[in-house]
A and B are shown apart, each in its own frame.
Chain A
Amino acid sequence: MFVVIVGCGRLGSHIASELSKLRHDVVVVDRSKDAFTLLSADFSGFQLLGDATEHETLRNARVGEADVVAAVTENDNANLMIAQAAKEVFVVKRLLARVSDPLKGDIYRRLGLGILCPTTVSAEAFEAEILKKEVDR
């Protein structure tokens, strides 16, 4: 699979490193050169320095050929714009945007965009863990 990951912070670098380990083609994009140091040593994908809210950067990342684009920067609004640009301009079929605000995430999920909300995901994991311990006792 060919995957473009936008944002090489703790989350983006982790996803990119794991996918690369599983032998997928990965392009990871970030505005800051330092961010790429978070990638694992054996990351064999492509690192692209640039602002992905500019279409030029998305073109350079070959977003139009991607099977999946995941926008996982720390900026909800940038992720939402990048995902929608990928969908509308570059006709990418599968998109994921990281949106930390659950309320905002819901609005866009209803518009048919793939939204992952780290807040909800970890809240659910914590909740499950807490309830499981109670049952065990």
Chain B
Amino acid sequence: MRVIIVGGGKVVYFLGKLFVSSGHTVSVINRNAEDSAEIARQLQALVIAGDGSDPRRLEEAQAMRAEAVIAVTPSDADNLVISQIAKHRFGVQRTLALVNDPENAELFKRLGITSVFNQTKMISSLIQQEISLQDVINLVPIKEGKVNAAEITIMAGHPCVGKTLSALSLPKDTLLPVIIRGESVIIPRGDTMLLVGDKAILISTPEEQGPAIRALTGED
């Protein structure tokens, strides 16, 4: 499939490389002529120098044949207009946009952008979670943070030690699909017991993550 990436800097280069290496056809639109020449040297992609919110540049980048447009410029306004023109003028199915001002995330969603990446919120929540819970490592937010995956190290004194999963009162909307015990990976069942040193992978909604961690570790 063809993917169009609009923006500059390292993000565009790494995203482009990722898509090219997984067999996609990539177009890049970059405002700066020098940077565009550099990207064209490094990446097997169609590189257009210019304003990605200009319908003409999107057309040159083959927007009518693209399945996804990714807008990652530093300007929220540019990212919005790039995504909207891709969608409404060229019928691009999937539009992905970066927002810098967290308040714009809701607006972008309401205006029909498929996926909105709120980098300020993502980075600050990652830092906050790292600081507050040392025996809990957040792995990846899935579907823009609607689902969280966390790795929890079970330690002596945690209320879950020696209990079976069915005896634990884990909240609804949470799942412990995998337990890592030493070198082995266990897909637990209701009668699987949690032991000190286990690393439990917790899948949950962001709302239920706190209560679930409390049920396992007794900590806030």
Given contacts A76-B53, A81-B77, 18 further A-B contacts (CB under 8 A): A53-B101, A77-B78, A77-B81, A80-B81, A81-B80, A81-B104, A84-B80, A84-B107, A84-B111, A88-B107, A89-B107, A101-B54, A103-B56, A104-B81, A104-B85, A107-B85, A108-B84, A111-B84
User: Whole-angstrom distance from the CB of A43 to the nearest CB of chain B?
Assistant: 27
Most buried by B among A77, A85, A108: A77
Q: Which of A51-65 contact B (CB under 8 A)?
A: 53-56
B77's partner among A53, A89, A107 (CB-CB below 8 A) is A53
Collect the chain A residues with CB atoms within 8 Å of residue B88's CB.
107, 110-111
CB distance from A48 to the nearest CB of B (A): 18
Q: A120 an interface residue at 8 Å Cβ cutoff?
A: no
A52, B111: Cα distance in complex, Å: 18
Interface SS of chain B: helix
A-B CB contact pairs (8 Å), 10 listed: A53-B77, A54-B101, A77-B78, A80-B77, A80-B81, A80-B84, A84-B107, A108-B84, A111-B84, A111-B88
Bits for B105-143, please: 1 = Cβ < 8 Å to A, else 0: 011001100000000000000000000000000000000
Check A107–B107 contact: CB distance below 8 A.
no
Within 8 A of A (CB), among B12-62: 53-56
State whether A104 and B53 are in contact (beta carbons under 8 Å apart), knowing that A77-B80, A80-B77, A81-B80 are contacts in the complex: yes
B98 to chain A, nearest CB (A): 14
Q: Which residues of B contact A80 (CB under 8 A)?
A: 77, 80-81, 84
A85–B77 Cα distance when bound, in Å, is 11
CB atoms of B56 and A81 under 8 A apart: no
On A, residues with C-beta under 8 Å from B are 53-56, 75-78, 80-81, 84-85, 88-89, 101, 103-104, 107-108, 110-111
* Inter-subunit contact A88/B111 (CB<8 Å): yes
Cα separation A77 to B79 with both chains bound (whole Å)? 9
Main secondary structure of the interface of A (DSSP, over half): helix
Query: What's the interface size class on B, roughly?
Result: 20 to 34
Question: What is the CB-to-nearest-CB distance from A47 to chain B, in angstroms, rounded to a whole number?
Answer: 22
B191 CB within 8 Å of chain A = no
A85 touching B107 by the CB < 8 A rule? yes
User: Would A54 and B77 be within 8 Å (CB), given that A84-B111, A101-B54, A104-B53 are in contact?
Assistant: no
